[in-house]
Structure 1
């Protein structure tokens, strides 16, 4: 594989869509250290997530659109070694953060490999894979990020407020994850993977997203106690919500509209909205 092909399969820009979890944790942190926070975000988004993407690409060997790649290049064993190499570097650097963070990296790495590896392949089981992705990329990552950047004891994560925040991150992922699969039905069928989106059907995928997003919005109302941050969140998400409803109307009348480019636009708008909101919240809480 060429260096460019490897870089494309790492899908580093795709990590941007998961940055809201980090910004949310940082905005709620009472005693965060700038150096620790920077190390945590770099290890997760430049090492852990790209390693997971590369490992997934190696085992899937996608020929159709996947992630942010409309035409993924062919893969070989090089990608497998790169994925493991990034994981090892993440663990070494994570040791400077603390053993709970190393434990997080180990657990997340193991789950991401079980998700893709042919011998286990959680990806074949729609409900399990949906819940696993939602929890580990959402709530689990939020809690361990919150712990790492504040250097807190693990028992501190059992308090109601961080648990609710973690639940909200999980609900966000449960809403958006099937949408990222909605254009891959043919590719997933070719590999024998019954994803959550395939199980729900194209229209059902949109209904699921609406239900999960509704639960998420309700949760944010209680988290922010109906205050101004909640309404600010709604404002930031308005473009994504408007596009989603328009896209759903199109798909309802023509399922062919559930395509790669629309899914990427939806994911981009949602990512931009959440990133902007949590960054604004961070600035407000620090001012």
Structure 2
């Protein structure tokens, strides 16, 4: 029994690695952003939504993507991904089921939104549909669903009414999240051109090229920041502008430095620098929105 159990446990442990739960930290900014502009949510529901998304939904999407991609080179969060096995698919189904079940207890509408997110993420990766191989469609799908849709989904899950979330300026804030994703998404593909090309996936970054990817990302991120600052100005939230600009300054510094180095040496476009960019941007933006949320809560009380 022990001789049989050990390989099985090892396979599931290896499969769990491919779910890349720690990688979910890179998607945290949308969560904190959605809460930072919301009113009337409850803390326990907010905590439940965080766990559903970052421990179940995002890892399930990662796992399903790995199951179909079967990457041999570095992927987001993993320098050397383990071999894909059927156990990975079992875990994806388990995580999907748990996410939907727990979501339903929060809100049927939230569960429906989670289900839609999971279905779209699977259409993105599934070999029979493979939205990932269409550069424009895949970019729209990822930036809308990981951006604005998730932004609204977080708010619905924490107890806000859907009609309330679709009012201005909330929808404009949701658009900001999509613009930020539009800038960061192609950067996650920039070091995988060869592997994506061999697999037949025409990603946006592959279409744009390395320099084009940097230019596109810079424009999208700048538009997102400009819209966000404009919204804060319109609402008279000057302190939020200061917090955002100060805490995201390291992102600008690293991004411009990476662009300069990559212009001189294409070898700088690699897994390490891409992950470093993801880490800096995620942590800095998350910290900015978390601080804005914290100050908003203090002033409200």
TM-score by length of 2: 0.93
Structure 2, gaps ≥5 residues long = 1-9
* 1:96-137 Cα distance to aligned partner (Å, 9 max, x none): 111110111110000000000011000000011011100100
Q: Determine helix, strand or coil for the equivalent of 1:160.
A: coil
Of the three residues 102, 105, 110, the one matched with 1:101 is 110
Structure 1, gaps ≥5 residues long = none
- Alpha-carbon distance between aligned partners in 2 of 1:261 and 1:154, rounded to the nearest angstrom: 40
Report the RMSD for the aligned CA atoms in angstroms: 1.1
Aligned to 2:248: 237
CA shift for structure 1 position 61: 0.1
The answer to whether the 8 Å contact 2:11/2:85 transfers is: no
1:86-235 superposed matches below 5 A: 86-149=95-158, 151-225=159-233, 227-235=238-246
* 1:235-268 Cα distance to aligned partner (Å, 9 max, x none): 1111111111111011112222100000011111
* 1:17-67 Cα distance to aligned partner (Å, 9 max, x none): 111111112222211111111111101110000000000000000000111
Of the three residues 50, 65, 78, the one matched with 2:87 is 78
Aligned to 1:64: 73
- Alpha-carbon distance between aligned partners in 2 of 1:262 and 1:183, rounded to the nearest angstrom: 9
- Alpha-carbon distance between aligned partners in 1 of 2:131 and 2:22, rounded to the nearest angstrom: 24
Aligned to 1:276: 287
CA shift for structure 1 position 3: 3.3
Q: Which runs of 4+ in 1 moved over 6 A?
A: none
**How many aligned positions are there?**
286
Aligned to 1:255: 266
